């Protein structure tokens, strides 16, 4: 197959070309595109480019990811979308105020330019060498900054952020969450606690941290993964929760299951009992605990297996009650005799008590009084 001739291809295009697709053409350079005055979109991803020429004034979309770029040209004022991930960039040019989507992940960036005063709504900067992020703008909806070296995050409280992915960093705490946040993924950090959960949150990933407790679960939460932490107990489950992963912790017992829970993974804890299983539960994994009566089980639940589990759980509770009754029967009997019955008998048949009785009766009632005594 003949190699792609970039110059010949460009010469064949009219000057009013608006879209240029050079995806995976195995090219090492792109000639000047100045003659294409109306060019709005340029896709040159997955090539071997080391540099780009000055951008056209009308360009709104630039996709140049998966190349060998070490720097980018100055951004034109009209650019709205910049996809430059998977290159060798160590810094980015100043961002234009019209930019609303920036994807610069999998590079060698150590810092980002300011974004506070631009209209950016989506920022993907994962897999770099970032140690901090700039102050967030009010328009940002999506932030993906995972696999960096971040030790803290900027303030979120007043932002419009809907989704935050900050996993695989060096975070030891999180700032106060903003009210409209829906998805939080903060797993694989060094967190020891979480901030209060705002009510809009529906998905929470906080696995592989050092959490010893969780905050109260908000009403809208549907998915919670808190596995591989140091939890000894869980908060009360909210009514909307459908999926719970709490495996690989130090849990001794679980809270009462809500009616919406569909999937429960609680394996590899210190559980000695399970709560009653709700009718909605279809997947239960609880092996590697300390459960008796062969309760440990992994896999899908049918009505039959769920009923069997609940029967065993009920039997276990009754057995515990019976065991306690039998174990403390002798102690209770001794306590009852020593503390209650014996003092009453001693008091009733003490000579002083008899003397008191005899002083209050006449001779005719003496025999009857002694019989009653």
79-103 confidence digits (pLDDT tens) = 999 999 999 999 999 999 999 999 9
Whole-angstrom CA distances from 373 to 15, 25, 129, 327 are 124, 114, 94, 37
- Torsion of Cα atoms, 19 then 23 then 26 then 30, to 10°: 30
| Residue 332 pLDDT class (50, 70, 90 cuts) | low
Q: Is 326 exposed, middle or buried (CB count within 10 Å of its CB: 0-12, 13-18, 19+)?
A: exposed
Please tell me the predicted confidence (pLDDT) of residue 133: 97
What's the pLDDT band for 105 if we cut at 50, 70, 90? very high
Collapsing DSSP to helix, strand or coil, 352 comes out as: helix
From first CA to last CA, the distance across the chain in angstroms is: 120
> What does the pLDDT read at residue 194?
98
Residue 157 — pLDDT band, cuts 50, 70, 90? confident
pLDDT bin (cut points 50, 70, 90) of residue 10 is very high
Tokens representing residue 128 in the block: 């770099």
What is the predicted pLDDT for the residue at 290?
A: 87
Residue % of the chain over a pLDDT of 70: 80
Ordered structural domains, the chain, with CATH = 1-88 (3.80.10.10), 330-372 (no CATH)
Lowest mean pLDDT segment, chosen from 208-212, 267-271, 290-294, 347-351? 347-351
| Distance, CA of 285 to CA of 272 (rounded, Å) | 14
Is 0.85 topped by the overall pTM? no
Residue 307: what pLDDT? 72
CA distances from 287 to 212, 228, 244, 297 (A): 22, 15, 15, 6
The reported pLDDT for the residue numbered 334 is 67
Find all residues with CB under 8 Å of 115, minimum gap 6, and list them.
95, 123, 134, 135, 136, 137, 140
Q: Please tell me the predicted confidence (pLDDT) of residue 2.
A: 74
């Amino acid at each position: 197959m003949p190699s792609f001739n970039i110059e010949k291809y460009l010469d064949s295009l009219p000057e009013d070309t608006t879209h240029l697709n050079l995806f995976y053409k195995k090219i090492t350079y792109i000639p000047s595109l100045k003659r294409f005055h109306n060019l709005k979109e340029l896709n040159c991803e997955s090539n071997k480019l080391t540099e780009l020429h000055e951008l056209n004034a009308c360009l709104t979309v630039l996709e140049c990811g998966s190349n060998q770029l070490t720097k980018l040209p100055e951004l034109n004022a009209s650019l709205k979308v910049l996809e430059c991930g998977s290159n060798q960039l160590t810094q980015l040019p100043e961002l234009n105020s019209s930019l609303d989507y920036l994807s610069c992940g999998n590079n060698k960036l150590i810092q980002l330019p300011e974004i506070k005063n631009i209209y950016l709504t989506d920022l993907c900067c994962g897999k770099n060498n970032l140690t901090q992020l700039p102050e967030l703008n009010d328009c940002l909806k999506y932030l993906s900054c995972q696999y960096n070296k971040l030790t803290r995050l900027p303030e979120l409280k007043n932002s419009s952020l809907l989704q935050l992915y900050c996993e695989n960093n060096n975070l030891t705490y999180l700032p106060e969450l903003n009210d409209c946040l829906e998805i939080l993924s903060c797993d694989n950090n060094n967190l020891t606690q979480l901030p209060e959960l705002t009510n809009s949150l529906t998905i929470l990933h906080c696995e592989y941290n050092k959490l010893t407790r969780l905050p109260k679960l908000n009403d809208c939460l549907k998915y919670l993964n808190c596995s591989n932490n140091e939890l000894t107990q869980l908060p009360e489950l909210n009514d909307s929760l459908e999926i719970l992963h709490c495996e690989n912790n130090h849990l001794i017992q679980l809270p009462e299951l809500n009616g919406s829970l569909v999937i429960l993974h609680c394996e590899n804890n210190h559980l000695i009992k399970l709560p009653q299983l709700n009718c909605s539960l279809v997947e239960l994994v609880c092996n590697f605990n300390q459960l008796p009566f062969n309760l440990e089980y992994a896999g899908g639940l049918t009505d039959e297996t769920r009923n069997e589990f609940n029967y065993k759980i009920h039997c276990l509770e009754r057995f515990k009650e019976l065991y306690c009754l039998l174990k403390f029967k002798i102690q209770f009997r001794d306590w009852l005799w020593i503390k209650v019955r014996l003092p009453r008998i001693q008091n009733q048949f003490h000579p002083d008590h008899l003397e008191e009785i005899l002083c209050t009766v006449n001779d005719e009632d003496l025999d009857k009084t002694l019989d009653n005594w």
